[in-house]
Amino acid sequence: MNPTSPIEGGALSLLALNRLVRSLIEQALDGEYWLEAELSEARLASNGHFYLEFIQKDESGRNLVAKARGVAWARTYNMIAPLFERATGERLRAGMKVRVLVSVEFHELYGYSLTILDIDPAYTLGDMAQRRREILMQLEADGILEDNRQLPLPTLLQRIAIVSSVSAAGYGDFCDQLLHNDYGLHFSLQLFPAVMQGTNVEESVLAALAAISDEADHYDCVVIIRGGGATSDLSDFDTYNLAAAVSQMPLPVIVGIGHERDETVLDFVAHTRVKTPTAAAAFLIDYQAQQLVRLDELSRRIHQSTAFRLQRMRARLDQLTSSLPRTFILITERQRHRLDLLSQRQHSALGRQLERERHRHELLAQRLQALSPERQLGRGYSLTYANGQLLRSASSLPAGTRITTRLADGEITSTI
């Protein structure tokens, strides 16, 4: 092909060169191609056209190895965007991996670009799911995946720490539903404000969770709620740091940050997952109502048990009262019989003691009788007296002393 618009020296003008490039590209790349890449930019212009920038990184994920501009013209974008959002729950945004059908274009003024003709939501869904799987696998490897789910729910869930945007409609609905419940249950609510959409979600929610952890003794559970807003913003909650913080909270965490069909990684690590703020309020009310039923049942059982035991005690008391006279008679008879036995035993013992003493006295009398002076004199002994005193020594008497000697059959008077 001959170059167009030659100038001096046979060189091509920039326009001629770009036209040549365009012609070559149109001839060589005149088809449509499925492209898999990451979006580094995604912007909807006021004219309805959607401008993107595709990039590819090396295996380390740090260095760019390819880049290309892309555009989805307003007519095409208005057809593919709603389908993509319904399928994925998210809008096309930077950081998302996509699979798009493109045609290769080259414009003499704007250069090389890719025109988007169609998009495959399944590919993006797979990438989002893969990212969540990677986060969950890392949590499991760190040993914290199940930490919050294993915490027991307190018997009462009355003191609620709330992480939400103060201006969110879902927050207002949540509070209204709790404070005006049909059971008249009391709840104490404390808001820890956080940004629930946009680039500051992670930082803001982490700060709120940290503040709650510092005062964990003041609350029974944590509720993270987000009502309304674009479903595409839910991907801001799919981060390892947020998932790890929720999993390691010292209080049970209840998460309700999406709509019925939405799902984030926090749903897999929180103690309880619900779909909406109103569902979170309904869960708390139902839980408290169940506890009331349980308390009523326990109270009923206690009353029944107490009444039964009182009835048994009254019956026992009546039985004891009716049997008391008979029992008294039996006790009296047993005591009388016992006294009779004791009296008999004492009488017998006294008789035996008296017999022993009588026998002892007889023996003593016999011994005394055997030792009497008369018996001794009868055996040939004599007793000598001087001045009426029994003499025991002859050397103590002077000469001329009169003495009397007593014998068995009479007395003899003598002079020394």
Summarised one tens digit per residue, pLDDT across range 258-283 is 666 567 899 999 999 998 899 999 99
Specify the higher pLDDT residue, 142 or 110: 142
If you average pLDDT over residues 17-34, what whole number do you get? Answer: 88
The number of beta carbons lying within 10 Å of the beta carbon of residue 160 is 23
Identify the three-state secondary structure at position 39: strand
If you average pLDDT over residues 363-376, what whole number do you get? Answer: 71
If you average pLDDT over residues 88-116, what whole number do you get? Answer: 89
- 379: enclosing H helix or E strand: none
DSSP state of 19: H
If you average pLDDT over residues 72-83, what whole number do you get? Answer: 95
Write the single-letter amino acid at 317: L
The number of beta carbons lying within 10 Å of the beta carbon of residue 259 is 15
If you average pLDDT over residues 94-98, what whole number do you get? Answer: 86
* Residue 160 backbone class (left: φ over 0; alpha: ψ -120 to 50; beta: rest): beta
For residue 112, give every residue at least 6 positions away whose Cβ sits within 8 Å of its Cβ, in sequence order, or none.
Answer: 25, 68, 69, 104, 105, 106
DSSP state of 401: -
Which pair of structure tokens corresponds to residue 307? 């009444």
Specify the higher pLDDT residue, 257 or 368: 257
Cα–Cα dist 393/380, whole Å:
19
Q: Which of 213, 211, 209, 228 is nearest to 171 (CA)?
A: 228
Per-residue confidence (pLDDT) for residue 174, from 0 to 100: 94
Per-residue confidence (pLDDT) for residue 98, from 0 to 100: 92
Res. 389 pLDDT band, cuts 50 70 90: confident
Cα–Cα dist 402/414, whole Å:
6
Specify the higher pLDDT residue, 78 or 299: 78
Identify the three-state secondary structure at position 115: strand
Res. 75 pLDDT band, cuts 50 70 90: very high
Whether 192 has a pLDDT exceeding 90, the answer reads yes
pLDDT tens digits along 197-253: 877 899 999 999 999 999 999 999 999 998 765 555 677 888 999 999 999 999 999
pTM equals 0.56
Whether 366 has a pLDDT exceeding 80, the answer reads no
Res. 1 pLDDT band, cuts 50 70 90: very low
If you average pLDDT over residues 386-408, what whole number do you get? Answer: 80
Per-residue confidence (pLDDT) for residue 198, from 0 to 100: 76
- 341: enclosing H helix or E strand: helix 277-370
* Residue 5 backbone class (left: φ over 0; alpha: ψ -120 to 50; beta: rest): left
Domains of the chain (ranges, CATH numbers): 8-139 (2.40.50.140), 142-290 (3.40.50.11400), 380-415 (no CATH)
DSSP state of 24: H
Cα–Cα dist 263/265, whole Å:
7
